[in-house]
Amino acid sequence: MQGYPVSDKEKLKKILQATGVSRSELARRLEVSYKTIYRWLDKGVEPHLAQSRDIDDLFKEYLDLRDVVIGLKKKLKNPIRVLKTDKKIRDKFFLEMTYHSNAIEGSRMTRKETQDAFAGKKVRGREIFEILEAVNHKNALHFLMENIRPNFKINEKYILKLHEIVMYNFNDKLPGKYRTGFVNLTNTEIPLPSAQEIPLKMGKLINEINLYGNDPVGKIARGHYEFEAIHPFFDGNGRVGRLIMITQALNKGFPPAIIQVEDRYKYYMALGKADSGDFRNIVQMVCDSIIKGFRLLREK
């Protein structure tokens, strides 16, 4: 995959090193011949796209991506500065983040339609609310960029403002306010807290949200799950949660975490596994999303 910080050859070597399996066993797991593995490792042959995806999936299964992400932090010294000073990259970031985050929530807007909405152009065949969702998300990213700086402290006011912007003109969703009633989620078996419990649970989350410890990426991933598990708003929880995650990543010097719509079901599965206390998948998902953010910031 062009621009990926770890090549397919490096991934294969790391898999062999981490698992201790033979090349024959690696070939079996990838459903290719031993000769193909030999060509990839020793002859400089590049895998086809589908094979590259299989290698990537195996790599994520056996390797902790936190080591890769820590390496990216060293390669890209100041992602906040890149986003604030390079308009082309910032515009691409706004477009990609808005398109993917809204699409995860069911938006039908294409990238081109999202871009047209940003520019104030007429978007044919789309409802006003779909266009408004795109513009609101862009404005929330502007707000994020106005506030972000190294070690910026997230507080309740910041989170509520993000929600107010994301839900602007959706008055039935109580922009900038916690939900006052029950919401039903279909992709989790864990009951959501009642409206009465939300201020206390959010207070606890916010008290700990800026404490990263020795594992900032793991903390960001767990914090994202905890926010989504509280589900403090009637709507916009996913979008606001991902904006908080980006804020945290940039705070700690990492590229922004961009979860793509193509990974929506892996994302839901990772959140579902975290319901039972298994956070490995959501940590890997956040790492992979930071890697995608790295690629975006390095595009020319």
* 29-53 residue pLDDT tens: 999 999 999 999 999 999 999 999 9
What is the average pLDDT value for the chain, to the nearest integer? 94
pLDDT value at residue 1: 37
d(CA 124, CA 112): 12
- Does residue 187 register a pLDDT over 80? no
Average pLDDT over residues 218-230: 97
- Does residue 113 register a pLDDT over 50? yes
d(CA 222, CA 280): 10
Q: Using 50, 70 and 90 to split pLDDT, how confident is the model at 300?
A: low
Instruction: Provide the 8-state DSSP code for 119.
Output: T
- Does residue 259 register a pLDDT over 90? yes
Helix (H, G, I), strand (E, B) or coil at 118: helix
SS3 breakdown of the chain: % helix, strand, coil, rounded to 5?
A: 65, 0, 35
Of 64, 47, 65, 48, residue with least CA distance to 5: 65
Rg (CA), the chain: 20
pLDDT value at residue 189: 72
Average pLDDT over residues 179-187: 86
The larger pLDDT score, comparing residue 188 to residue 271, is at: 271
Of 223, 172, 218, 171, residue with least CA distance to 201: 223
- Record the tokens describing residue 162, joined without a space: 């993000």
d(CA 151, CA 81): 14
How open is the CA angle 263-216-69, to the nearest 5 degrees?
Answer: 55
Give me the DSSP letters along 221-275: HHHHHHHHHH--SSS-HHHHHHHHHHHHHHHTTPPP----GGGHHHHHHHHHHHH
pLDDT value at residue 191: 87
Indicate left, alpha or beta for 236 from its phi (over 0: left) and psi (-120 to 50: alpha). Answer: left
> What angle do helix axes 128-147 and 156-166 make, rounded to 10 degrees?
150
* 68-98 residue pLDDT tens: 899 888 888 899 999 999 999 999 999 999 9
pLDDT value at residue 4: 56
User: For a pLDDT cut of 70, what percent of the chain falls above it?
Assistant: 98
Question: For the chain, which domains are there?
Answer: 8-63 (1.10.260), 76-298 (1.10.3290.10)
Average pLDDT over residues 257-278: 95
- Record the tokens describing residue 224, joined without a space: 């994202």
Average pLDDT over residues 134-143: 98
Instruction: Out of 67-81, 141-155, 162-176, pick the least confident.
Output: 67-81
- Does residue 2 register a pLDDT over 80? no
Q: What's the full length of the chain, in residues?
A: 300
